Amino acid sequence: MTPQRTLFHTFDAPKDAIALDCGQTLTPYTVAYQTWGKLNADRSNAILIFHALSGDAHVAGAHEDGRTEGWWDLMVGPGCAFDTDRFFIICANVLGGCKGSTGPGSTNPATRQPYGTDFPVITINDMVRAQHPLLRVLGIEKLCAVTGGSMGGMLALAFIQLYPEMAERAIVLASAATNHAQAIAWNKIGRHAIMDDPLWREGHYYDSPDGPPRNGLALARMIGHVTYISEGAMDRKFGRKLQSADVESFSFGVDYAVESYLAHQGQSFYERFDANSYLYITRAIDYFDFAAKTGGDLTAAFAQTRARLRFFSYDADWLYSPERNEAMTAAARAAGREAVHHKIHAPLGHDAFLVQKEPQTELIREFLR
Amino acid sequence: MTPQRTLFHTFDAPKDAIALDCGQTLTPYTVAYQTWGKLNADRSNAILIFHALSGDAHVAGAHEDGRTEGWWDLMVGPGCAFDTDRFFIICANVLGGCKGSTGPGSTNPATRQPYGTDFPVITINDMVRAQHPLLRVLGIEKLCAVTGGSMGGMLALAFIQLYPEMAERAIVLASAATNHAQAIAWNKIGRHAIMDDPLWREGHYYDSPDGPPRNGLALARMIGHVTYISEGAMDRKFGRKLQSADVESFSFGVDYAVESYLAHQGQSFYERFDANSYLYITRAIDYFDFAAKTGGDLTAAFAQTRARLRFFSYDADWLYSPERNEAMTAAARAAGREAVHHKIHAPLGHDAFLVQKEPQTELIREFLR
């Protein structure tokens, strides 16, 4: 594939203003996106991919910025599950993000300063609303499929609920119909870490000489990261291996390999992510509830959708468990939807949706045939 | 029972100096403890209870400080599993703690200032070494049993390894033979939260006008607390219940009941616990490895012990799982020890050892008969 370029579209027409769930109206806003492959003559081969919490529009292939890998190279490309020789693939950075789309780090037109926490609190539905007009720009009236893992799966579910006639299929990986209490707790603690960091400055740190709240964001990422892999995978990968010395240091520094790994995860994250975006995106995840408009009735919620459904869960995923996916599938079927749940053996846990290729590749190819 | 008074014994004789695992020698040091019941004529009815991370010597009954409950009232008292009418029960605050025994908040005799992080990094074995001479003070040569939950179980295991002839029985609840990688990760993140708090001041905050690192300690406690209860228990207790309003606030404040609960857990903890003690105690837990001296061979480690063993695990405990307890029991049996594993149905998870009375009461009474 040729190197990918990030494209930007700014929506400022009154008809594109987003009526946010919080009651505010957002306009203008920019959506950063990339595409792969070609839209066919009858415009029937488009697939919209939604990224997870820390993702971006750069799903696959070399990138103009010199980075060589997309976050889903394994699944998107020639001959892959999402075959760029057959499909026209689109992925946009979410509203509230920090990878080109409008978010808390963007300039607030009212003040000409970065929004910071003056950016409105948004929802998963709002993120989907922001991407909807992009399809019009690209000349797409109907998608062959929407898909995504983790938060990306929630976005796919929100899409088929908000625009039931616009997607033939939804492929939802390592996700859930709503954020459960423990997952809300982890998000809350992560936000606490950021907001407790004195460098956060109530969210207005973009011009601060001290820089952004790195420590808080690193902590939040470390917490998240532990939830993305299974206890067994951590045992196998690290166990009680010491990082460098032969014996414990009897200090509070890094003794164990798992400590070094976590520190690296935290540090590499604050070099590429905005702390305020972490607040906004995790809050959107907390607020997500596919059955909110049907009084908690998941079957009634699926009854309002049209897409054919495939749910992929990963047996060692303790963040969004197979059991939750099984319940979601049962609700969709009770609503008369075509829904299949594939429970994948994946010792890694939640992050398996990002790094494991089989057997989901063949199952997805079959579903898209 | 009559109100309990905390007793203190300071060990300053050269023979009581502790040769710590880190290589330093600790003397003098004070052990704060409480006792219940009466030592019988042949001194054969003594039971030593070890507390968990945030516990103290006040296990049961009314306390002179006006608090009405001990942390294990359910299990220790007249007619309870640990029957104070039959047994002489002892519990001491651990070395490194902040409830009366010597720890980082104690005065360093060399400087007449609080130790802070000049206190040596200690181990579970060191904590046990500090309590050993207390038994001599109390006139006890052999214990009927040692017991404890979570870290307390590790202390019980360390006791029967360091002093194999001194305990007839060990009752180990919700614990493990070593701290696994994910548990090390949580402890690491908790310490990070404390040490990132500017009020921590490299551990020398005791005289600071700004006070201790409350935010960091609260964060550490919140993280720990989520690991103490199961995902299902959080679902049943909180689910997605809102705390007060009917709708989401579209803010980063408290919307969900689980957020309010966590905030309360964090706040109530920093009112009663020292942040440096949290660092020292979690590091000791990380370092614990029952099989360290036998090259990782758990069976060889149990071969050096003598006590009859009972392991209690709780089926929804995801911190120290039933599987780890089953493996520990199998290793003990392979070493020729009398070992039984009771896997208790306890939907709450790890904290069930603190708050659930049956069926472990009858099983423990039977074992102590």
- Written as six digits, the tokens of B232 are 């299902």
Q: Of the candidates A120, A184, A250, which has its C-beta nearest B121's C-beta?
A: A250
CB distance from A201 to chain B under 8 Å? no
One digit per residue, the tens of pLDDT, for chain B of length 369 reads: 566 789 999 999 999 999 999 999 999 999 999 999 999 999 999 999 999 999 999 999 877 777 668 999 999 999 999 999 999 999 999 999 999 999 999 999 999 999 999 999 999 999 999 999 999 999 999 999 999 999 999 999 999 999 999 999 999 999 999 999 999 999 999 999 999 999 999 999 999 999 999 999 999 999 999 999 999 999 999 999 999 878 899 999 999 999 999 999 999 999 999 999 999 999 999 999 999 999 999 999 999 999 999 999 999 999 999 999 999 999 999 999 999 999 999 999 999 999 999 999 999 999 999
- C-alpha to C-alpha distance for A72 and A65, rounded to whole angstroms: 17
Instruction: List the one residue out of A301, A59, A248 whose CA is nearest residue B22.
Output: A248
CB distance from B300 to chain A under 8 Å? no
Alpha-helical (H) ranges within chain B are: 124-137, 151-162, 181-196, 214-228, 231-237, 257-270, 275-287, 298-303, 322-334, 352-355, 360-368
The domain made up of A7-179+289-368 is a member of CATH 3.40.50.1820: yes
- C-alpha to C-alpha distance for A88 and A139, rounded to whole angstroms: 12
CB distance from A318 to chain B under 8 Å? yes
End-to-end CA distance of chain B: 22
Other CB atoms within a 10 A radius of the CB of residue A362 amount to 11
Query: Which chain B residues are Cβ-neighbours of A21 within 8 angstroms?
Result: 250
CB distance from B251 to chain A under 8 Å? yes
- What's residue A293's pLDDT? 96
From A56, A126, A317, A351, the catalytic residue: A317
Q: In A287-320, which positions are buried (b, 16+ CB within 10 angstroms) versus exposed (e)?
A: bbbbbbebeeebbebbeebebbbbbbbbebbbbb
- C-alpha to C-alpha distance for B95 and B97, rounded to whole angstroms: 5
Residue holding tokens 């579970």?
B124
Please judge whether A179 and B240 are an interchain contact, meaning their C-beta atoms are less than 8 angstroms apart.
yes
Coil/strand/helix, residue A232: helix
Residue A286 annotated in active site = no
DSSP 8-state assignment for residue B220: H
- C-alpha to C-alpha distance for B307 and A319, rounded to whole angstroms: 39
Query: Which chain B residues are Cβ-neighbours of A258 within 8 angstroms?
Result: 181-182, 184-185, 188
Residues in CB range of A164: below 8 A, 6 or more apart: A304, A305, A306, A307
CB distance from A248 to chain B under 8 Å? yes
Nearest-Å Rg of the Cα atoms of chain A is 20
- C-alpha to C-alpha distance for A215 and B222, rounded to whole angstroms: 17
Instruction: List the one residue out of A122, A197, A196, A186 whose CA is nearest residue B258.
Output: A186
Do the beta carbons of residue A314 and residue A169 sit within 8 Å?
Answer: no
Helix or strand run (H / E) with residue A225: helix A214-228
Do the beta carbons of residue A226 and residue B207 sit within 8 Å?
Answer: no
Q: In angstroms, what separates the C-alpha of A161 from chain B's closest C-alpha?
A: 20
- C-alpha to C-alpha distance for A175 and A173, rounded to whole angstroms: 5
- Written as six digits, the tokens of B245 are 């309003």
- What's residue A11's pLDDT? 98
Please judge whether B219 and A188 are an interchain contact, meaning their C-beta atoms are less than 8 angstroms apart.
no
CB distance from B214 to chain A under 8 Å? no
Do the beta carbons of residue A123 and residue A288 sit within 8 Å?
Answer: yes
- Written as six digits, the tokens of A239 are 């166990």
- C-alpha to C-alpha distance for A302 and A294, rounded to whole angstroms: 10
Nearest CA in chain B to A235: B181
- What's residue A68's pLDDT? 61
Please judge whether A223 and B223 are an interchain contact, meaning their C-beta atoms are less than 8 angstroms apart.
yes
Other CB atoms within a 10 A radius of the CB of residue B7 amount to 16
Please report the number of interchain residue pairs, chain A to chain B, with beta-carbon separation below 8 angstroms: 142
Helix or strand run (H / E) with residue A312: strand A308-314
- C-alpha to C-alpha distance for B77 and B27, rounded to whole angstroms: 34
CB distance from B255 to chain A under 8 Å? yes
Count how many Cα atoms sit within 13 Å of the Cα of residue A308 in the half-sphere of its side chain.
11
- What's residue A325's pLDDT? 98
- What's residue A63's pLDDT? 74
- C-alpha to C-alpha distance for B253 and A320, rounded to whole angstroms: 24
Coil/strand/helix, residue B291: coil
Please judge whether B178 and A120 are an interchain contact, meaning their C-beta atoms are less than 8 angstroms apart.
no
CATH class of residue range B183-282: mainly alpha
- What's residue B68's pLDDT? 61
CB distance from A180 to chain B under 8 Å? yes
Strands A46-50 and A88-92: parallel
- Written as six digits, the tokens of B63 are 């306390």
Do the beta carbons of residue A75 and residue A149 sit within 8 Å?
Answer: no
Q: In angstroms, what separates the C-alpha of A89 from chain B's closest C-alpha?
A: 33
Q: How far is CA B82 from CA A19, B163, B184, B367, in A?
A: 62, 22, 31, 11
Burial of A184 (0-12, 13-18, 19+ CB in 10 A): buried
- What's residue B1's pLDDT? 57
The catalytic residue positions of B are 150, 317, 350
* Test mutation, A178, A256, A261, A293, chain B, max B CBs within 10 A: A256
- What's residue A4's pLDDT? 78
Please judge whether B234 and A180 are an interchain contact, meaning their C-beta atoms are less than 8 angstroms apart.
yes
DSSP 8-state assignment for residue B81: S
> Where do the domains of chain A lie?
7-179+289-368, 183-282
* Amino acid residing at B252: F
Q: Which residues of chain A are under the pLDDT cut of 50?
A: none
- C-alpha to C-alpha distance for A75 and A78, rounded to whole angstroms: 9
The helix, strand and coil proportions of chain B, stated in percent and rounded to the nearest 5, come to 35, 20, 45
Q: How far is CA A227 from CA A196, A285, A347, B17, in A?
A: 21, 15, 13, 43
B32 beta partners? B8
Q: Of the candidates A21, A259, A283, which has its C-beta nearest B188's C-beta?
A: A259
Please report the ipTM that was assigned to this predicted complex: 0.96
Angle (CA) A60 A62 A64, round 5°: 120
Instruction: List the one residue out of B81, B92, B111, B103 whose CA is nearest residue B277.
Output: B103
Residue A150 annotated in active site = yes
Please judge whether B231 and A197 are an interchain contact, meaning their C-beta atoms are less than 8 angstroms apart.
no
CB distance from B316 to chain A under 8 Å? no
Helix or strand run (H / E) with residue A235: helix A231-237
Alpha-helical (H) ranges within A101-213 are: 124-137, 151-162, 181-196
Please judge whether B239 and A180 are an interchain contact, meaning their C-beta atoms are less than 8 angstroms apart.
yes
Do the beta carbons of residue B119 and residue B92 sit within 8 Å?
Answer: no
Please judge whether B22 and A250 are an interchain contact, meaning their C-beta atoms are less than 8 angstroms apart.
yes
